[in-house]
Amino acid sequence: MLFSQEKADEAIKFISNLTHTKGQWAGVPWNWIPWQLELIKTAFGTVKPDGSRQYRYVYVEIPKKNGKSEISAAVGLKLFAADKEAGAEIYTAAGDRLQASIIFNVAAQMTNDHKLLRERTKILHSVKRMVIHKTGSVYTALSSDAFTKHGLNPHGVLIDETHAHPNRELYDVLTEGTDTARSQQMIFITTTAGIQDETSIGWELHEYARQVKEGIIEDSGFLPLIYAAEPDDDWEDPKIWQKVNPSLGYIFELDKIQEHYDSVKNNPARQNNFRRYRLNQWVSQLTRYIPMDYWRRCGTLFNPDKLKNHPCYGGLDLSSKKDMCAFVLVFPPDDINKKWRILPKFYMPEATLHERAKEDKVPYDLWAKMGLITLTPGNIIDYQFIQKDVIQASQLYDLREVAYDPWNATETAVKLDNENGITMVEHRQGYVSMSEPTKKFHALILEESIAHGGHKVLEWNADNLEVKIDVSENVRPVKANVKKRIDGVVATIMALGRALQTFEYKSIYETQGLTIL
């Protein structure tokens, strides 16, 4: 590969005359961070024998807050206004219009702060478009509705946060065969890590960039720059934080990462986002959720007989007649009992118990002998046993509501509601219904504000619990595989969800008043 210092200096000089746009640096002349300077030198200075740019693709994968939007916007302006390309078309593209507008807005502010660019360029904020009429060049933000984008002739494409693209169509429309009329088109990709998903364009590009970087794939037109912790790096080690954040000490200080770490260290669901945003590690969408040392600290024993007539909420998980089912009661705290108390019941078919215990390598038979699992006759669970327990609970306690998953329990719920006057409430298993109570359940465990009595089956469920996490840190419970049961925990979370929505705790002093002696 050849290197042209002249072309590198040309790009560096142009960007050096721009200004920063964010926070305390807004309006301040461009201050080069070493990694950015090296990137621009390499991307614009490496050339083919004919003098045109070597790299068509520049891939930058870096943790958040390291200035990738600013450098991307600056590159876009270089291609737009100072690349000697008539009718240059520059597009910022992302999974949605709002995300695509981030780089455009930064570029527009840089343009507005630069006297010559401001005089030459018309900025149309309403449509996220800039135009230089003299050269016919345009700079526009696009979203993922790629079916409207065919026929574009881009000189530069700035693709942001590929991990969040809903599909690969926009990427393909902007890159496949679009360089035939452009001698040195540049596809400038910036992203942080996302979820490992074999079907996503984000993961596909990451893997391709990694293989090019490691020399597994030879692609002389692809420049990969990846700042990320290795899989075996200690994610809690500040030395690793420093290693993978090249703008540390320039844009932000180590204490910002420390604050983020302190807020997530005991929350597995949020740890994944710390790994993604701060360490740039691609993560599984699933993560183990309950720290079992905290769970065991919540094993306080209590006497169910002393809960008679106390308010409570039920959760009913009838996963399958052939598997385990659970009915759980959750009792909110009161003046005497400061903890949420959990009273679980589990059910399995008697005829298949030993076979399932052997197959799953789980001591169902021992738990049944200990009275921790109710066995129903035959090779499927008789739901009438569960219905009787729900009815009995309504007679012993102040059972306000029972939440149930409608997938298997609708018929049972209708009978309990219509024939026995028990308030049954659908509780679906998606993020909307499950995220808040699942997070609250986790928080109560960390606070040791739950008493579960050390129930072995419920403990096994808790140890099996994983959560699936979306990009907004919403969670929903899942199990690692078909042999891992989480029915009791799911029922607990549903019951807790209803309690959180409807229960209003009143002190005994509010309900009975003060007694003056």
pLDDT in tens, 262-318: 998 888 778 888 999 999 999 877 778 898 989 999 999 999 999 999 999 999 998
- pTM tops 0.75, yes or no: no
Q: How many residues does the chain have?
A: 517
Q: How far is CA 288 from CA 251, 270, 292, 493, in A?
A: 33, 11, 10, 16
Alpha-carbon radius of gyration of the chain: 30
**Do 343 and 475 share a structural domain?**
yes
Residue 406 belongs to some domain of the structure: yes
**Secondary structure letter of residue 30 according to DSSP:** P
Give me the domain span that covers residue 458: 292-502
Give the residue from 227, 262, 281 where a domain finishes: 227
**Do 395 and 322 share a structural domain?**
yes
Cα–Cα distance for residue pair 492/497, rounded to 1 Å: 8
Residue 24 belongs to some domain of the structure: no
Instruction: Kindly tell me if the per-residue pLDDT of 323 is higher than 90.
Output: no
Residue 313 belongs to some domain of the structure: yes
Q: Which segment of 322-326, 486-490, 504-508, 513-517 scores lowest on mean pLDDT?
A: 513-517
CATH number for the domain harbouring residue 364 = 3.30.420.240
Residue 248 belongs to some domain of the structure: no
**Do 313 and 202 share a structural domain?**
no
- In 143-185 the beta strands, taken as DSSP E runs, fall at 156-160
**Do 456 and 346 share a structural domain?**
yes
User: Which pair of structure tokens corresponds to residue 276?
Assistant: 């993604």
Residue 181 belongs to some domain of the structure: yes
Residue 303 belongs to some domain of the structure: yes
**Do 317 and 449 share a structural domain?**
yes
Residue 187 belongs to some domain of the structure: yes
**Do 319 and 219 share a structural domain?**
no
Cα–Cα distance for residue pair 365/367, rounded to 1 Å: 5
pLDDT band at residue 514 using 50, 70 and 90 as cut-offs: very low
| pLDDT at residue 308 in the model | 93
**Do 191 and 80 share a structural domain?**
yes
Residue 115 belongs to some domain of the structure: yes
Read off the pLDDT of residues 50-97 as tens digits, 9 standing for 90 and up. 999 999 999 999 999 999 999 999 999 999 999 999 999 999 998 887
pLDDT band at residue 473 using 50, 70 and 90 as cut-offs: confident
**Do 310 and 386 share a structural domain?**
yes
| pLDDT at residue 505 in the model | 53
Domain count, the chain: 2
| pLDDT at residue 517 in the model | 42
Across the strands, what pairs with 500? none
**Do 430 and 336 share a structural domain?**
yes
